[in-house]
Amino acid sequence: MNLKEVLLVRYNMEITRLVAYKVWIASLLASEYIKGLGEFDPNYISLEGLHVSRVNIIASVIDVFKNLEKGYSSISLDDGSGVLKVKAWKEDLKLLDAVSIGELVLVIGKI
């Protein structure tokens, strides 16, 4: 049984994925970061009265960094309002393998 099934059977709790809000990078950078209290209370930013814990960003790749020895990669994204770095480690490295400078990408991720 996975965690979702255990919670549903034992506690009658269903886990649902939170909304990934479309936001500008500048809005992310200017917002206050609030750390969640536990495993089921996610970190978020407060943006126009919403608790945003997942984002949906469309931006151009302006830099790519790969350090395969240490199991780390990152890309820098620019949406015209600001620049944000997206990072990946170990098993998630394959997500950034095919990305190159100048490409337009859609990133959905947690705060």
DSSP 5: H
| Cα distance between residue 52 and residue 44, in whole Å | 5
Helices (H) and strands (E) in the chain, counts: 2, 8
Question: Among candidates 48, 3, 6, which has minimal Cα distance to 28?
Answer: 48
Q: 45: number of CA atoms within 13 Å, CB side?
A: 19
Residue pair 48/27 in contact (Cβ under 8 Å)? The answer is no
Residue 7 confidence (pLDDT) above 60: no
Give the amino acid at 93: L
pLDDT band per the 50, 70, 90 thresholds, residue 10: low
Q: What is the pLDDT of residues 50-71, one digit of tens each?
A: 889 899 999 999 999 988 788 8
Rg of the Cα atoms in the chain: 16
Which run of H or of E encompasses 33?
Answer: strand 33-34
